[in-house]
Amino acid sequence: MKNNFSDNINKIINWWNAKKDDISTFLVPIISIIIAFIVAGIMIKATGKSPIQAYKLLFEGALGSSLKEFLSLKQAGEGILKGAILTLTGLSVTVAFKAGLFNIGAEGQFIIGSIVAAYFGYIFNLPPIIGIPLILILVGIASGLYGAFAAWLKVKRGVHEVITTIMLNWIAIHLVENWIVVGPFNILKYYPGTLLVGTPYVTDSSRLKPLFEGTRLNASIFIAIIAVIIIYIIINKTVLGYEIQATGLNIDAAKYAGINTSKTMVISMFIAGALSGISGACMILGIEGRYPGVFSQGYGFDGITMSLIGNTTPIGTFIASIFFGFVRAGATGMQLMGIHKSFTDIIQGFATIFVAGQSGIKYLLFLIGEKRTTKTKEATDGNY
What does the pLDDT read at residue 23? 64
> What are 241-259's pLDDT values in tens digits?
999 999 999 999 999 999 9
What does the pLDDT read at residue 353? 77
What does the pLDDT read at residue 380? 52
CA atoms within 13 A on the CB side of 217: 22
Q: How far is CA 69 from CA 221, 251, 276, 368, in A?
A: 20, 51, 32, 41
Q: In whole numbers, what is the pLDDT of the chain averaged over residues?
A: 85
What does the pLDDT read at residue 48? 85
What does the pLDDT read at residue 378? 52
What does the pLDDT read at residue 20? 56
What does the pLDDT read at residue 33? 83
What does the pLDDT read at residue 291? 93
What does the pLDDT read at residue 355? 73
Cβ-contact 259, 247 below 8 angstroms:
yes
Going from the first residue of the chain to its last (384 residues), give the mean pLDDT of each consecutive group of 10, the final group possibly shorter. Answer: 54 54 68 84 87 87 78 82 95 94 94 96 93 96 96 93 93 92 91 87 94 88 96 95 94 92 96 96 94 82 89 90 88 79 79 67 53 51 52
What does the pLDDT read at residue 80? 92
Q: Indicate the fold that domain 76-329 takes in CATH.
A: ABC transporter involved in vitamin B12 uptake, BtuC (1.10.3470)
What does the pLDDT read at residue 349? 81
Domain definitions of the chain by residue range? 1-70+344-384, 76-329
> What are 202-230's pLDDT values in tens digits?
999 999 999 888 788 999 999 999 999 99
What does the pLDDT read at residue 195? 81
d(CA 381, CA 288): 67
